[in-house]
Amino acid sequence: MFKQIIPVLLMTTLMTHAQEDSFQWLEEVDGEKALEWVNQQNVATTNILTQLPEYQRIYENTLKILNSKERIAYPGIRGNFAYNFWQDETHPRGVWRRTELKQYLAGKQEWEDLIDVSKLSEQEGENWSFKGVDVLEPDFDICLVKLSRGGGDAVVIREFDIEKKAFIADGFKLPEAKTRVAWLDRNTLLVGTDFGEGSMTSSGYPRIVKKWKRGTPLSDAELIYEGKKDDVSVGAYVQVTPERKYVMISRGITFYETEYHALEDDKLIQLEIPVDADVSGIFKNHLLVQPKKEWAFSGQSIPAGSLVALKYDALLQGKHEVEILFQPSERDSLGSVSSTENQILVNVFKGGRYDELFSHTFEKDHWKKELVHTPEQGTLSMISADDYSDRFFLTYESMLSPRTLYFSPALHSPLTKGKSLPEFFDASKYQVEFHEAVSKDGTKIPYTVVQPKTAKLDGTNPTLLYGYGGFEISMQPHYSPVMGTCWLAEGGIFVEASIRGGGEFGPKWHQAAQKENKQRSYDDFIAVSEDLIERGYCTNKTLGIQGGSNGGLLVGAVTMQRPDLYEAVVCAVPLLDMKRFNKLLAGASWMGEYGNPDIPEEWAYISKYSPYQNLKPDGNYPKIFFKTSTRDDRVHPGHARKMAAKMESYDQPFFYFENTEGGHGAGVTNEQRAMMDSLGYAYLLMMLK
């Protein structure tokens, strides 16, 4: 009898799941039926939102900002030139260009166009999106250009002659794939790409690295390293320094675990560093390593979130000769790490509110640390650091201070101020406040509020709360001309929450909301929402929330759990069906963050917050606005499609817009970006004012 029951129970379970996932046909990205549904939703949404009185004004202001000639042309230092990628109304898909560095610094920027992507798209009948270049160092005369159809992560790669400003007819070419490539020398590439059956991981990234010689077919490339099918990815890394060339192969076991192998004299040597550590490059024959958990060896203990320098030659022999360059405190954590020829530049987050920059030099076997004098109380972002001199560019900004470019010409030189963004909105009308909410388990969660000075704490203010809370990505103060012009200037309050899962306070802040503890991110966000209401900034009728990607999952989850808290929700390029996320595009690579839904014990905790599974027919939900992209080959558009379709089947109101281009971003052209942003702000103003 028992044996007969098992098939019946199994069939019932399968039938139930099939009923729950009756919208799986929407996962067919370019399916005729799916695209017909998308088009219907797009028309229904734009017919309403573009007709709102605010929409056209917001769109025109946004496009004006995005196309402004007064924007900063961010420079990339290569030799004696500053390189830049620029988009405006003349170059809607952008132009890759350069100018002499001395002209750039003098403010006399005579740009030499190298690749006009709009013209190239027109010539070839393709909707190309520029995805960057890999330039041969230290000659800087040829490069590998990465082009994406519609803005996705998969790219076509072609070799380009910078001096002749032309693609090389018989040069290296790689077909469309999520390729990882590095120059070994002028005539040799290390390539991870789709070589055919079995060469990609279950996450859709390269599993194999091969050495490809110029003039030979890709099929004849020599196998260097082979990972496993269930790895996230495998890739090659080459760093050329004034001392020597370093070659490493990385095997991404999970999103947070990586093995590193040095390629020395055609032999692979596995480096004895923790698999949960990040590598930040090589400086003066030292490997820069960031352990994410406590690292104990030979009587030493390195705290999680530190930055250490290990002597490379000793490491090749299995020895650990270590210098700690940065050690975190309770509220200070490690930010970005960059290097020039003679210094390591370490950015430190101070309590998640502002940054400090330190310079580390190594002379005569001795490390020296100095504070770099920068503007105070803001966010510092490294723009370009030169490996062959000590020149570097960085920017400073805060919530109300426009981003400003600074330049350092030499070691220990004072920073010189360069171009600033215009004041696109009158910042004098606003003020910034810092608060903490208390989460469900008693943890204090910081958040930042930007509000009009005249705002009254009577709950009537349209308030937008933004969050992310995943993958150790930090929310930092930043100047947003679009947000300031389209939200603050319209009377809104903007709030940014530093919830767990992010990296504001180092690896532990992230790990506290990983896998079985992911609910803590949502508890934190809900706590901030309730604190905003309690302090009188808003009520549940004037509070809206927004998030994208993992942040889309965040706002989706909290809306299912506490629909009473929110009047508006912008859910962009989201993960929502957490039962199938690991089967869609790059989803398998994120199981290190969320867990594996195919393992019953892990699905048990994922299922409690997965928005798609927790949507109820009789739920009293706000009218959510879903935004996604057909060409997003990272987070599958099926997540947003299925969630909206399921709401439609329950007669739950929503808005939906799917851009045909854009990849995992808001669009490829400034017009597309302006439309996506404007639809969102027009929706928020309609719902909250």
Q: Say how far apart CA 56 and CA 463 lie, in whole Å.
A: 22
Which sign, positive or negative, has the C-alpha torsion 166, 169, 174, 180? negative
SS3 for 104?
helix
Q: What is the full DSSP assignment across 559-603?
A: HHH-GGG-SEEEEES----TTTGGGSGGGGGGHHHH--TTSHHHH
Is 664 catalytic? The answer is yes
Give the residue from 668, 665, 643, 436 showing the smallest Cα distance to 555: 643
373 is catalytic: no
Distance CA 574, CA 550 (A): 6
Task: Supply φ then ψ for residue 176, to 5 degrees.
Answer: -60, 125
| Pick from 536, 369, 406: nearest CA to 461 | 536
Q: Pick the catalytic residue from 91, 286, 636, 664.
A: 664
β strands within 515-666, DSSP E = 543-548, 568-572, 624-629, 654-659
CA distance 100 to 123: 29
C-alpha to C-alpha distance for 43 and 50, rounded to whole angstroms: 10
460, 464, 465, 470 alpha-carbon torsion, rounded to 10°? 170
Angle (CA) 23-28-34 rounded to 5° is: 65
In terms of Cβ atoms closer than 10 Å to its own Cβ (0-12, 13-18, 19+), residue 602 is middle
What are φ and ψ of residue 590, in 5° steps? -100, 10
Pairing verdict, β 142-149 and 128-135: antiparallel
Residues 6+ apart with CB under 8 A from 72: 395, 403, 405, 418, 419, 420, 421
Of 333, 549, 629, 678, which one is the catalytic site residue?
549
- How many residues are present in the chain? 689
C-alpha distances out from residue 120 to 94, 128, 173, Å: 10, 8, 16
Any idea which residues carry the catalytic annotation? Answer: 549, 664
